[in-house]
Amino acid sequence: MVNKLESLNSRRGLMTALTAIAVVAVVGLLASFLVIGNAAQTVTTTEVTTVPTTVTSTAGSSMALSNVTTASSDQLNAEQIYAAANRSVVTLQGTQVESSYFGNEIDDILGSGFVVTYSGSDYIVTNYHVVQSTSNLTVTFSDGDAYPAKVVGSDPYSDLAIVSVPTAPSTEYFPLTLTSSSTLNVGDPVVAIGNPYGLTGSMTEGIVSQLGRTITDETAGNYTIANVIQFSAAINPGNSGGPLLNANGQVVGITTAAVTSSEGLGFAIPSDTIIEEMPSLIANGSYNLHSYLGISEVDMNYQLAQAAGANVTYGVLIESVVSGGPAATAGLQGGSQTVVVNGEQYLIGGDIIISVNGTRITTSDALGTYLEAHTVAGQTVSLGIIGPGDKYSTVTVTLGVRPAISS
């Protein structure tokens, strides 16, 4: 099957080309972290100091986020971080209706979340797949008190949701500090706190393994979630929505998925995405600025370059373009000839994207991450293209809005 850019990770056979689902059962290699079945009802949590600052969004608007900072330390003290952060982590529970051969079944669900403050009000940040189609949603705080909760806003394309707990008193809230994930480097120490399998307040420790990954999530309509943090701290079903913290105890990501039957292959949505989207999620209930190119693609490599008769061994080969989409409108071309390389079928003959706005693009991960981190829908970008006959050219493309997810 031909994969869509920003809709499917196109690097066939690689671990990042995975599918996340909002249940414990897994499809392919990737499991989203949401426990279904009987689960514990309480979680223990703890305070982290907040530092005022102003963050400018990609779209150019500024937002006052009272708990955003920049990281400075790389010496991690896990005991101190846990003591400070644990009571800020909450448990989300509810029910979901699942269709099966025997008809509709009601499943109990459990996930994690954490407290943040925005514009003087307290909210819970969690994953979209935790609250998607969830009824009877509740949030349980560290003292065991549980309250009805409601979803304020959500974005399936980033697997993010913002939840409010209107009847909870202010004494329940201990907001964590958000810091820019752009400060992260491979090798930085991190910890994850959540409720794996209902074991509330569990912490694991690891390092940032890589940055700028892409993963594929069914709840996102099989569009890729880009600019994802890969880390080595162990996470399991029930960790979904829990914070990923740096050495200063600040949130640098939100845990979302891991490779099944692996050790130390976890993924987190970066905090920069939370910071970017929170104003719109709270004010409008959604975020609609994800850019869309409208192509099906695959990573170039030496073997594929030989089969295609191309001199370039890096970049993104366009296999097809979506009719009427931004790429097609700009004149980009897809493939016209089918070949088999190492047992995989490809369409060759299309344009090869090797740069965006002068930034070298080596893989689909790099393309998706650049578009997610540096562009919004409606923005114009310059693509460096290798076309037929290995001719280099630049093509100007006005990025579109991602199509709505079909139900």
Closest by CA to 240, choosing from 260, 277, 266, 216, is 266
Asked if the structure places residue 254 within a domain, the reply is yes
271/313 same-domain check: no
Instruction: List pLDDT tens digits, range 106-138.
Output: 888 889 999 999 999 999 999 999 999 889 999
85/124 same-domain check: yes
Give the pLDDT band (50/70/90) at residue 65: very low
Asked if the structure places residue 4 within a domain, the reply is no
Asked if the structure places residue 183 within a domain, the reply is yes
Asked which of 248, 268, 284 is the last residue of a domain, the reply is: 284
| pLDDT the model gives residue 253 | 97
| pLDDT exceeds cutoff 80 at 101 | no
pTM (2 decimals)?
A: 0.78
Catalytic residue flag (residue 129): yes
| pLDDT the model gives residue 229 | 96
CA dist 87 and 110 (Å) reads: 17
Instruction: List pLDDT tens digits, range 173-192.
Output: 999 999 999 999 999 999 99
66/101 same-domain check: yes
| pLDDT exceeds cutoff 50 at 225 | yes
Q: How far is CA 110 from the centre of its chain?
A: 19
CA dist 347 and 315 (Å) reads: 15
Instruction: List pLDDT tens digits, range 154-171.
Output: 999 999 999 999 999 999
- The tokens describing 318, both together, are 């366009």
Give the pLDDT band (50/70/90) at residue 406: low
What range defines the domain where residue 275 resides? 19-284
268/352 same-domain check: no
Give the pLDDT band (50/70/90) at residue 304: very high
CA dist 71 and 382 (Å) reads: 33
311/256 same-domain check: no
| pLDDT the model gives residue 407 | 55
Closest by CA to 318, choosing from 340, 291, 361, 349, is 349
Query: Which of 6-15, 245-254, 353-362 is least confident?
Result: 6-15
Instruction: List pLDDT tens digits, range 349-405.
Output: 999 999 999 999 999 999 999 999 899 999 999 999 999 889 999 999 999 998 877
Helix runs in 56-95, H state only: 78-85
Asked if the structure places residue 114 within a domain, the reply is yes
CATH code of residue 364? 2.30.42.10
Asked if the structure places residue 279 within a domain, the reply is yes
Asked if the structure places residue 345 within a domain, the reply is yes
Instruction: List pLDDT tens digits, range 255-289.
Output: 998 877 778 899 999 999 999 999 999 999 999 99
Asked which of 284, 304, 325 is the last residue of a domain, the reply is: 284
Q: What is the DSSP letter of 336?
A: -
41/102 same-domain check: yes
Asked if the structure places residue 126 within a domain, the reply is yes
Helix runs in 110-261, H state only: 128-131
| pLDDT exceeds cutoff 60 at 54 | no
| pLDDT exceeds cutoff 60 at 28 | no
173/305 same-domain check: no
Q: What is the pLDDT averaged over residues 9-29?
A: 35
| pLDDT the model gives residue 74 | 60
Helix runs in 185-301, H state only: 271-284
191/316 same-domain check: no
52/130 same-domain check: yes
Q: What is the pLDDT averaged over residues 204-211?
A: 95
Asked which of 259, 284, 309 is the last residue of a domain, the reply is: 284
First to last CA, the chain: 21
CATH code of residue 38? 2.40.10.120
Single out the catalytic residue among 7, 10, 159, 365.
159
Residue in the structure block whose two tokens are 């097609």? 328
Query: Which of 1-10, 60-69, 330-339 is least confident?
Result: 1-10
Single out the catalytic residue among 240, 271, 320, 355.
240
244/324 same-domain check: no
Catalytic residue flag (residue 159): yes
Catalytic residue flag (residue 240): yes
Q: 92 or 50: whose pLDDT is higher?
A: 92
Computed over every residue of the chain, the mean pLDDT equals 82
| pLDDT the model gives residue 279 | 97
| pLDDT the model gives residue 56 | 33
264/308 same-domain check: no
Q: 240 or 125: whose pLDDT is higher?
A: 125
3-state secondary structure of 109: strand
Query: Which of 2-6, 101-105, 307-311, 381-385 is least confident?
Result: 2-6
Closest by CA to 115, choosing from 90, 81, 142, is 90
CA dist 120 and 66 (Å) reads: 8
3-state secondary structure of 67: coil
Give the pLDDT band (50/70/90) at residue 293: very high
135/175 same-domain check: yes
3-state secondary structure of 8: coil
How many domains does the structure of the chain reveal? 2
Contact 269, 32 (CB under 8 A): no
Single out the catalytic residue among 7, 66, 88, 129.
129
Asked if the structure places residue 2 within a domain, the reply is no
